[in-house]
Amino acid sequence: MKICMWNVRGANRNLFLSHAKEIGFNQNPDIFIFLETKADGSRARETMLALKFSDFRVVRPIGTRGGIWMFWKKTVDMVLFDAENTYFHSLFHFKNFGKEGLVTAMHAPSSSKEKHHHWNSIRSNLPPKNTPWLVLGDMNEITGQSEKMGGRPFRVNQGKDMLNFMDEAGLVDLGFNGSPFT
């Protein structure tokens, strides 16, 4: 089972679909999640069909901000889908894994007040402890000075809400591959 996530920063751009096809062909994911689509369900349906996925769900953008699409193939069955403005929870039954797993994708807000609400909202809706859970996305948060370059210095309480959420949920940061400052 393979999941790909891409922060596209606009799915209506001319080269979006050709890049999405290239990633889909090279990676062949069972689930493909697009963040910050800034686009509606009709563009999502068009993209899903072009990438040869079986079904999809959309978290609509708010004006010209946000938007999340999730596509999946017949190798997985969606059991449950619940969405908020900045994230979704989706419970899948993975046929080759033999059990269910929860996938949460988010494009967290960038303002401090909205971040506080976002992390507390997710923290108040944790899955049962024995549920396999993958949380991915653009957290729009840093937890130390080494995660930023330039600008104002890191403040100790800056990533506190996200770290509290991770601690309470028992999540571990798996790290990343690529440019550290995107």
Q: Using one digit for the tens of pLDDT, what is the confidence trace for 53-71?
A: 999 999 999 888 889 999 9
Predicted confidence at residue 110, as pLDDT, reads: 86
Structure tokens at 138: 């653009």
Task: Please state whether 96 falls in left (phi above 0), alpha (psi between -120 and 50) or beta.
Answer: alpha
Stretch 172-177: mean pLDDT: 82
pLDDT at 150 > cutoff 80: yes
Domains and their CATH numbers in the chain: 3-169 (3.60.10.10)
3-state class of 24 per DSSP?
helix
Q: Using one digit for the tens of pLDDT, what is the confidence trace for 104-133?
A: 999 999 888 899 999 999 998 899 888 899
Neighbours of 41 (CB within 10 A): 14
Residue located via tokens 């990533």? 159
Residue 182's pLDDT band (cuts 50, 70, 90)? low
Is the pTM here over 0.95, yes or no?
Answer: no
Measured distance CA(103)–CA(107) in Å, rounded: 14
Predicted confidence at residue 93, as pLDDT, reads: 87
